[in-house]
């Protein structure tokens, strides 16, 4: 029998993904090093991230349909993405994953992929390194 591949998006489900990303941005909004680079209102950011994660996890390409190719690194260029910010972003995500009860292999694989993407976004040194170079 040919089995249909398991799509991560179906495994997590739209409802949990939505909940997780709302929790995630509530944490980002409270984080002292992340907050300053985000808009005050997270509505649109959250909506885009839900669209993006939907397709990142193999669901329908709803981000690309509305916004075009993600080109994530380019879209992050206007912001200083330092190693410390990447770490903080990942910590907020890890806590959000805990709070919606993601666990096991699924969570491990998903999180590892986010670590790689987050590290790829880094485009500036940590702030104190900059001071040292001056």
Where on the chain is the footprint of ligand HEM (CB under 6 A)? 34, 37-39, 44-45, 48-49, 52, 67, 72, 75-76, 79, 81, 85-86, 89, 114, 117-118, 121
Residues 110 and 77: their CA atoms lie apart, in Å, by 24
Smaller CB distance to ligand HEM: residue 32 or 39? 39
Shortest distance in whole angstroms from residue 126 CB to ligand HEM: 12
Tell me the closest approach of the beta carbon of residue 2 to ligand HEM, in angstroms: 31
Q: How far is the CB of 7 from ligand HEM (least distance, A)?
A: 17
- 8 A C-beta contact, residue 82 and residue 97: no
Nearer to ligand HEM, 4 or 12 (CB): 12
d(CA 29, CA 91): 13
94/117 with CB nearer ligand HEM: 117
Q: How far apart are CA 22 and CA 42, in angstroms?
A: 9
Residues 18, 123: Cα–Cα separation, whole Å: 28
The rounded distance, in Å, linking the Cα atoms of 86 and 108 is 18
Q: Between 62 and 121, whose beta carbon lies closer to ligand HEM? A: 121
Smallest distance from the beta carbon of 39 to ligand HEM, in angstroms? 5
Answer for the pair 34, 92: CB distance below 8 angstroms, yes or no.
Answer: yes
């Amino acid at each position: 029998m040919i089995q249909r591949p398991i799509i991560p998006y179906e495994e997590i489900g739209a409802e949990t993904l939505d909940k997780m990303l709302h929790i995630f941005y509530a944490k980002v909004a409270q984080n002292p090093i992340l907050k300053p680079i985000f808009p005050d209102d997270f509505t649109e950011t959250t909506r885009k991230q839900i669209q993006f994660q939907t397709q990142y996890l193999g669901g329908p390409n709803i981000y690309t349909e509305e916004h075009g190719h993600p080109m994530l690194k380019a879209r992050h260029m206007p912001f200083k993405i330092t190693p410390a910010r990447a770490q903080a972003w990942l910590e907020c995500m890890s806590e959000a994953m805990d709070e919606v009860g993601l666990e096991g292999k699924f969570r491990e694989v998903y999180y590892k992929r986010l670590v790689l993407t987050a590290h790829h976004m880094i485009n500036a040194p940590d702030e104190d390194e900059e001071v040292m170079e001056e």
